[in-house]
């Protein structure tokens, strides 16, 4: 027994989060906003306070659910009037009043049927629905300042404990996340234990906005998604295309080293192919309508695999040929609902850095290990050092026999164990044809992005009846591994833009060097510098406009060009250049050759 510290928002007793009221029980531990569980309690209470404010300001609103989330909280409302941004301000104001009043959160336990009756009288249909699904006979309600809500708790001792919160946005959300249900209005907010932490989070959100690849894509002239050309279809502008080409060149070179063979396959195929592959049955909702050509139906491809299988089947294969590794930068088209589209991260046409490995069952673990190592190497080259790795196991709907699933899942698991990287099991999240490993890369802001995927497939070898001849002279079925390291070039590019905030490392920068003249008489020297750099393989351009050097520096800085070379009287005289690095660091004077070598070295090191 003892006193509960004043800054405790909840206490942990026997692994259970409880209210920070009364005395501290034996073995109890105080939780503050520095503990994830404590912060969750705190935010959950703020969500209740928001509901209270909405109840006061918007009579007739019905209440759904209001949980805390990873970085804040939300509450779903069914309100006759749509909320506006101005309403958020009003709600915030009312919340501040409720907080100032320091209303105690009072817990009341009542009979479940009584609770149902009570909420029914108030017309709270969502609460009634929730109550009907609770198995216990009794339920708990929390009341503060006259506003009562169904809640498991726990909550803060009183509303006055809230120190910093902000309402962020309004959005539609289906009741219970099911699109067959009514669309409710969700208000998102966040809350922290102190004003400084809140400010830090709001600054983080600003930084996220600043790095938005759609914003940077426009500012840096990297890509666009045209209104006239179609939504979800990406136009790669020269600078974006340059970056893509560098990525592709790197990708091809590394695949050659890793014993892959590169393929090119068409963008469409006869519908029958997609029927045989099973896509027409299992994947149709992501496919476009077939088109008729001379009486035959054709389908634009949502995946590359059937083509790679067709190439596999073009010969009789021996066990000596395996593993066969086919890779292709294959452009696929998938139907996405208009509301799901999002810049480069969610599009309708994209290029996968795809590969299919055909191997014998006893080779699978080794192949998975190789792919895993290869993936991490590629991601690391692009500056991604942290990942979340998931092993997705057999889903409810699956094909193939259990033994195969067992072997394949084991192979994936052992490859992961061998690599020593930490991973989580995602039960039932595999694809219908096999288990998979998904790798989410974490960018500089710590956000996780799904890019790489490694999938084992028993279905397609079966469906296309592919085989190889074993040392025993008999026919055997190979196992197929699908894998994409970057996932799609479009999404990966979007992630890269945000990761680097548009300031790409030298080897990726579309313009690596800008040569700037101090005055017009230096143009000839500047042009010859550019010529020499280009001859040395450096992507350089020139600014000979009639502007002051400060202006040119500013423009180049906004273009996020890694190196700025200044050319004035001094440089012309001595045949040198003056080098400034992106960010302002002045490296000083050097010869064009020396500078060219320096850049080449950086590019070779993928820096």
Partner RNA sequence: GCCGAGAUAGCUCAGCUGGUAGAGCAGCUGAUUCGUAAUCAGCAGGUCGUCGGUUCGAAUCCGAUUCUCGGCUCCA
Per annotation, catalytic residue among 317, 482, 525, 580: 482
Enter the tokens of residue 102.
């320091």
Task: Please confirm, yes or no, whether 499 is among the known catalytic residues.
Answer: no
Q: Which two tokens stand for residue 477?
A: 């079925």
- Binding test (CB under 7 A) with RNA, winner from 80, 146, 177, 295: 177
59 near RNA, judged by CB under 7 A: no
Q: Is 590 in the site for RNA (CB under 7 A)?
A: no
Closest distance to RNA from the beta carbon of 186 (Å): 5
Find out whether 12 and 39 touch, Cβ atoms under 8 Å. Answer: no
Per CB under 7 A, 520 contacts RNA: yes
Q: Please spell the DSSP secondary structure of 189-210, one letter per residue.
A: EEEESSHHHHHHHHHHHHHHHH
376-415 in b/e form (b: 16+ CB < 10 A) is bebbeebbbeebebbbbbbeeebbbeeebbebbbebbbeb
> Are the CB atoms for 105 and 142 separated by under 8 Å?
yes
Element housing 394 (H / E): none
Residue 356 a catalytic site member: yes
Of 56, 87, 149, 354, which one is the catalytic site residue? Answer: 354
- Pull the structure tokens for residue 565: 């070379």
Task: Note whether 557 binds RNA by CB under 7 A.
Answer: yes
* Beta carbons within 8 Å of 586's beta carbon, 6+ residues apart: 578, 579, 580
Q: Are 589 and 578 in contact (CB under 8 A)?
A: yes
| CB closer to RNA, 265 vs 351 | 351
389 token code pair: 């790795």
State which residue, 206 or 569, has the beta carbon closest to RNA.
569
Among 145, 343, 400, 505, binds RNA (CB under 7 A): 343
Give yes or no for residue 338 binding RNA (CB under 7 A).
yes
Shortest reach from residue 306's CB to RNA, in Å = 16
Q: Contacts with RNA in 365-424 (CB under 7 A)?
A: none
Least spacing, CB of residue 20 vs RNA, in Å: 30
Question: Which residues sit opposite 591 in a β-bridge?
Answer: 576
352 among known catalytic residues: yes
Residue 490 binds RNA (CB under 7 A): yes
* Residue 457 binds to RNA (criterion: CB under 7 A): no
Q: Does 446 bind RNA (CB under 7 A)?
A: no
Q: Which of 326, 325, 426 is nearest to 367 (CA)?
A: 325
DSSP letter (8 states) at residue 584? S
Among 551, 575, 594, 605, binds RNA (CB under 7 A): 551
Tell me the CA distances in angstroms from 269 to 275, 292, 300, 334, 488, one per residue in order: 11, 11, 7, 15, 21
Looking at 27-35, 137-145, 166-174, 467-475, which segment touches RNA (CB under 7 A)? 166-174
What is the helix (H) or strand (E) element at residue 75, kind and residue range? strand 72-78
Residue 304, interface with RNA (CB under 7 A)?
A: no
Spatial distance between the Cα atoms of 414 and 405, rounded to a whole number of angstroms: 14
Q: How many residues in the chain? A: 607
Output the smallest distance, CB 540 to RNA, in A: 16
Each residue 469-488 as x (binds RNA by CB under 7 A) or -, in order, gives ---------------x--xx
Which 184-223 residues touch RNA, going by CB under 7 A? 185-186, 214, 218
Mark whether 334 is an active-site residue: yes
| Residues in touch with RNA (CB under 7 A) | 82, 84, 169-174, 177-179, 183, 185-186, 214, 218, 225, 227, 230-232, 334, 336-343, 346-348, 350, 352, 431, 438, 450-451, 453, 484, 487-488, 490-491, 518-521, 546-551, 553-554, 557-558, 564, 566, 568-571, 578, 580, 583-584, 586
């Amino acid at each position: 027994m003892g006193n509960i510290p004043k800054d405790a928002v909840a206490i942990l007793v026997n692994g259970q989060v409880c209210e920070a009221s009364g005395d501290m029980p034996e073995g109890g531990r105080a939780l503050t906003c520095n503990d994830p569980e404590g912060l969750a309690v705190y935010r959950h209470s703020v969500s209740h306070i928001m509901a209270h404010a909405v109840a006061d300001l918007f009579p007739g609103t019905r209440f759904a659910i209001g949980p805390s989330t990873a970085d804040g909280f939300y509450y779903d409302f069914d309100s006759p009037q749509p909320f506006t941004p101005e309403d958020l301000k009003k709600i915030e104001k009312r919340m501040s009043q409720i907080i100032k009043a320091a209303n105690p959160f009072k817990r009341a336990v009542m009979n479940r049927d009584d609770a149902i009756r009570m909420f029914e009288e108030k017309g709270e249909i969502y609460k009634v629905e929730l109550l009907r699904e609770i198995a216990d006979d009794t339920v708990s309600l929390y009341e503060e300042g006259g506003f009562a809500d169904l809640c498991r708790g726990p909550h803060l001792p009183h509303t006055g404990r809230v120190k910093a919160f902000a309402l962020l946005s309004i959005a539609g959300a289906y009741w219970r996340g099911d699109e067959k249900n009514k669309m409710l209005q969700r208000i998102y907010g966040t809350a922290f234990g102190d004003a400084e932490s809140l400010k830090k989070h709001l600054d983080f959100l600003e930084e996220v906005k600043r790095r938005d690849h759609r914003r940077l894509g426009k500012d840096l002239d990297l890509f666009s998604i045209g209104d006239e050309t179609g939504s979800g279809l990406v136009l790669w502008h020269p600078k974006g295309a340059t970056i893509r080409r560098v990525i592709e060149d790197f990708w091809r070179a590394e695949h050659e080293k890793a014993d892959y063979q590169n393929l090119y396959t068409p963008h469409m195929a006869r519908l029958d192919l997609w029927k045989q592959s099973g896509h027409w049955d299992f994947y149709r909702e992501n496919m476009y309508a077939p088109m008729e050509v001379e009486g035959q139906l054709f389908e634009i491809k949502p995946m590359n695999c059937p083509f790679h299988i067709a190439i596999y089947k073009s010969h009789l294969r021996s066990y000596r040929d395996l593993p066969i590794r086919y890779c292709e930068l294959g452009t696929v088209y998938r139907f996405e609902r208009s509301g799901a589209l999002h810049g480069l991260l969610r599009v309708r046409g994209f290029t996968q850095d795809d590969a299919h490995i055909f191997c014998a069952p006893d080779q699978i673990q080794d192949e998975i290990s190789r792919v895993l190592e290869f993936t991490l190497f590629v991601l690391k080259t692009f500056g991604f050092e942290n990942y979340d790795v998931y092993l997705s196991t057999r889903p409810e709907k699956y094909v193939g026999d259990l033994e195969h699933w067992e072997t394949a899942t084991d192979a994936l698991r052992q490859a992961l164990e061998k690599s020593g990287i930490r991973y989580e099991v995602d039960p039932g999240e595999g694809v219908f044809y096999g288990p998979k490993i998904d790798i989410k890369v974490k960018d500089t802001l710590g956000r996780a992005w799904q890019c790489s995927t490694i999938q084992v497939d028993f279905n397609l070898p079966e469906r296309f009846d592919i085989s190889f001849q074993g040392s025993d002279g008999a026919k055997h079925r190979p196992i197929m591994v699908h894998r994409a390291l970057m996932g799609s070039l479009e999404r990966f590019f979007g992630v890269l833009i945000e990761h680097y905030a548009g300031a790409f490392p030298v080897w990726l920068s579309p313009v690596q060097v800008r040569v700037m003249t101090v005055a017009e008489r230096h143009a000839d020297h500047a042009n010859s510098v550019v010529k020499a750099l280009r001859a040395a393989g450096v992507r350089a351009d020139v600014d000979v406009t009639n502007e002051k050097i400060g202006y040119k520096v500013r423009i180049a800085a906004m273009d996020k060009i890694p190196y700025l070379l200044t050319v004035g009287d001094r440089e012309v005289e001595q045949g040198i250049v003056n080098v400034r690095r992106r960010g302002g660091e002045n490296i000083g004077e050097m010869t064009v050759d020396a500078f060219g070598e320096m850049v080449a070295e950086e590019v070779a090191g993928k820096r």
